[in-house]
Amino acid sequence: MQNSIASGVPLPERRFVKTHAMTKHNAPPRTARAGRAIGATPGRTMAAPLAAGCPIIWQRRARPGPGVFSAHHPVQGIPMRIETEVRLDFKDVLIRPKRSTLSTRSNVDISREFRFLHAKGEYHGVPIVAANMDTTGTFEMARALDAFEMSTALHKHHTVDEVVAFFRALERKSAAFYSMGIGAADDDKFGRVMAAAGTGADSAIRYVCIDVANGYTEGFVRLVAKIRERHPHLVIMAGNVVTGEMTEELILSGADIVKVGIGPGSVCTTRTMTGVGYPQLSAIIECADAAHGLEGHICADGGCATPGDVAKAFGGGADFVMLGGMFAGHDECAGEVVERDGRKYRRFYGMSSKAAMEKYAGGVAKYRAAEGKEVLVPHRGPVAGTVQEILGGVRSACTYVGARRLRELSKRTTFVRVSQQANEVFARA
C-alpha cells in the first residue's frame, strides 16, 4: 500500500525504551519520583502510579518504529506502556487531490475482484457490506443491495429454515454473509444450517461472518480454525480486531477477511464504557498492511458517517467497508417505526445495547454492562437513494486522485492532516 500521511509535525522515527545497558557508563537504573511528569523522550523519569523509590527498567524494542515508552514495576510485575505516536480517525484527515486524466466520474470502475487465501474462491462486486445488525442485516436489505452488486451480512437471529431458503434462492452467493457468534448455541445452529444448506462446492452458503466484539480471545481464534477445518470452501470473515499482529493471527488461523474496528460505530459505546479502542483510520492502515503481506484481506467495520469516510477507508487500504448507521432508517430495515410531531423515525440500536439484550437475552446480565445505545433515525425511504450517494462519492474521490479503478485508490491516496473537515456555517440550518 502506497498511501501516506502529510503533516507539518515530524513524528518520532525510532521505537525504543531505555535499558540499564543504555545508561551512560552502565549507571544503575533511575528511580521513580512522585510528582515528576511523564516525558516524551528517553532518559526522563516516569511518574506515578509507580511507587516512589522503585526502579524503572527500560528495554529497547527489536523493531524500529514510533516512540513507545514502557515502565515496568519490578515489585508488582505490572508493565505499563505509553505509545506516543498520534493515531488518526477519518475526521483527522482529507485526501489530497492529484492530477488526473479522467474526464468523468462514469469512467471509474468501483467493483473489485478478489481471490481468497484459504477458500480459493473468487469475488466480484462492489465491496460495501451492510452490517449484521438486526435492523440492517435483513433479507430485504440484501435483495436491495444485491441490485448494486453490494453485500449484506445477515443478522444471526433469523431461523434456520428462513436462512437456508434465502441462500438457496440467492444467485450471486457473495451478496450475503451468514453471521454467527462464538457461543455454543451459535455453533450448534451453524451446524444445523450447513447440514441443510449442503457442503463443499454445492453448498448454498459460501460466505460466513464470525462476529464478536473482542476478537483477541483464544476461544475466538480456535473457533475460526475449527470452522476453517470443517468447511474449507467457505470464505470466512472474522473479527473484530484493530492491530496488525491479531490480524495476522486470524489469517493464519483460517480467516480470509479480517473485520477491523473496536468502538467506532455510531451506536457503539465500548470506548466510553471500557476505555478500549483504536482510531479507525490508523487501525485500517495498520491491519491492511499486515493482512496484505499474508495475501489476506480486511473489512473496515464502523466509523463511516459520510461517503467521504467510505472513500478514506478504501484509501487507507480497506478491501471491504461495512456500514451500519449509514444504512439505518430505510424501508428495507427492521426496527419499530415511531411517529413524532408528524415525522416518522425508525429505532436503531447497537447489538450490545440494553434494547438488543432485552430482546434476545432477557436483559443485561449482572456481570456486564451494555456497550451500545438506542437512537431514533429519521425515516429515509428506499435505500437506493443512499446507495447512489455513497457510490457517487467514492467515484468522485477516485477522479480527484486519478484512480481509474477502485483498487488503485489506496495507491494514489495521500492523507493530509487537518483541523477542520468542512465549512459548518449552515450546519444547523
What is the spatial distance between Cα 222 and Cα 18, in angstroms, rounded to a whole number? 37
84 catalytic? Reply is no
Contact residues for 56 (Cβ-Cβ < 8 A; gap 6+): 18, 29, 30, 31, 32, 45, 46, 50, 71, 72
- Give the number of residues written for the chain: 429
Contact residues for 290 (Cβ-Cβ < 8 A; gap 6+): 244, 245, 247, 248
Active-site residue, from 209, 268, 287, 299? 268
What is the spatial distance between Cα 43 and Cα 22, in angstroms, rounded to a whole number? 10
270 catalytic? Reply is yes
Provide the β-strand partners of residue 258. Answer: 238, 298
C-alpha cell at 2: 502506497
Phi first, then psi: give them for residue 234, nearest 5 degrees: -80, 140
What is the spatial distance between Cα 12 and Cα 283, in angstroms, rounded to a whole number? 19
The 3-state DSSP composition of the chain as helix, strand, coil percent (nearest 5) reads: 30, 20, 50
Provide the β-strand partners of residue 323. Answer: 130
C-alpha cell at 355: 434494547
Chain CA centroid to CA 376, Å? 24
Active-site residue, from 270, 386, 399, 413? 270
Which of 149, 126, 153 has its CA nearest to residue 138?
Answer: 153
Catalytic residues, by residue number, are 268, 270
